[in-house]
A and B are shown apart, each in its own frame.
Chain A
Amino acid sequence: MGYYLGLDVGSVSTNFVLLDKEGKVVWDLYLRTEGRPLVAIEKGLGELAKENPKVLGAGTTGSGRKLAGVLIGADVIKNEITAHAVAALALVPSVQTVLEIGGQDSKLIILRDGVVTDFAMNTVCAAGTGSFLDHQAARLGVPIEEFGKLALKAKEEVRIAGRCAVFAESDMIHKQQMGYPTEEIVAGLCSALVRNYLNNVGKGKELLPTVVFQGGVAANLGMRRAFEKALGTKVVVPEYYSVMGAVGAALLAKEEVANTGRSKFKGMNVANWENEAGSFECPHCPNQCEIVEIKQEGKVIARWGDRCGRWSNVEVAV
Chain B
Amino acid sequence: MKVTFPHMGSLAIPMKALLEEAGLEVVLPPPTSKRTLTLGSRHAPEFACLPLKINLGNYLEALELGADTIIMAGGVGPCRFGYYGQVQREILRSLGKDCDFLIFEPPAGDFKGLASTCRRLFAGCRPAGILRGAKIAWAKARAVDKLWQVSLWARPREVERGRTSKIIRKLYHKLDQACEMKRIRRIVREGIEELKSQAKGEPKAHIALVGEIYVVLDPFSNQYIEERLGEMGVEVSRTIYLSQWIVHHLVLPTFRLHRPNRSLGLASGYLNYAVGGHGLETVANTVLAARRRFDGVVQLAPFTCMPEIVAASILPRVSKGEGISVLTLFLDEHTGEAGLVTRLEAFVDMLLRQQRQRRQGHGILSWA
Contacts and interface: CB of A to CB of B under 8 A. Distances in A.
Interface stretch (B41-49, B104-112, B197-205, B358-366): B358-366
Contacts of B33: 285-288
A245 to B, nearest CB: 12
Contact of A309 (B162, B319, B345, B346): B162
B338 A286 contact: no
A78 B162 CA distance: 21
A117 B354 contact: yes
B48 to A, nearest CB: 16
A258 B34 CA distance: 44
B353 A115 contact: yes
A74 B100 CA distance: 57
A79 B346 contact: yes
Contacts of A124: 303, 330
Interface in A240-267: 251-252, 255-256, 258-259
A22 B346 CA distance: 26
Contact of A256 (B31, B303, B368): B368
A252 B341 CA distance: 19
Given A113-B363, A117-B325, A307-B224, A82 B35 contact: no
A204 B316 contact: yes
B276 to A, nearest CB: 21
Contact of B368 (A118, A121, A203, A252): A252
Interface string B319-341: 10000010000100000001101
B354 A115 contact: yes
A80 B339 CA distance: 11
B325 A82 contact: no
A198 interface: no
B261 interface: no
B342 interface: yes
B346 A81 contact: yes
A63 B224 CA distance: 19
A247 B187 CA distance: 52
B343 interface: yes
Greatest chain A CB density within 10 A among B30, B224, B338 is at B338
B343 A115 contact: no
Nearest to B36: A286
Nearest to B338: A63
A152 interface: no
Contact of A286 (B31, B317, B342, B362): B31
B346 A82 contact: yes
Given A81-B346, A124-B330, A286-B35, A255 B367 contact: yes
A288 B346 contact: no
Chain B, interface SS category: helix
A89 interface: yes
Nearest to B339: A121
Given A80-B342, A117-B350, A121-B343, A285 B363 contact: no
Interface in A109-150: 113-119, 121, 123-124
A204 B346 contact: no
A287 B224 CA distance: 13
Given A82-B349, A115-B353, A204-B316, A313 B162 contact: yes
Given A79-B345, A119-B346, A286-B31, A113 B316 contact: no
Given A79-B349, A81-B346, A124-B303, A114 B368 contact: no
A79 B342 contact: yes
A81 B34 contact: no
Contact of A288 (B35, B162, B330, B350): B35
Nearest to A257: B368
B312 to A, nearest CB: 9
Contacts of B313: 203-204
Nearest to A119: B346
B77 to A, nearest CB: 26
A86 interface: yes
19 contacts: A79-B346, A79-B349, A81-B349, A82-B350, A82-B367, A116-B346, A116-B350, A116-B353, A118-B325, A121-B342, A124-B303, A204-B317, A255-B366, A256-B368, A258-B368, A285-B31, A285-B33, A309-B162, A309-B165
Going nearest first, the 4 A-B pairs with the smallest beta carbon separation are: A81-B346, A204-B316, A286-B33, A79-B345
Interface of A: 63, 76, 78-82, 86, 89, 113-119, 121, 123-124, 203-205, 251-252, 255-256, 258-259, 285-288, 307, 309, 313
Given A82-B345, A116-B346, A258-B368, 15 more contacts: A78-B345, A78-B349, A80-B346, A82-B346, A82-B367, A113-B363, A114-B362, A116-B349, A124-B330, A204-B316, A251-B367, A286-B31, A307-B224, A309-B162, A313-B162
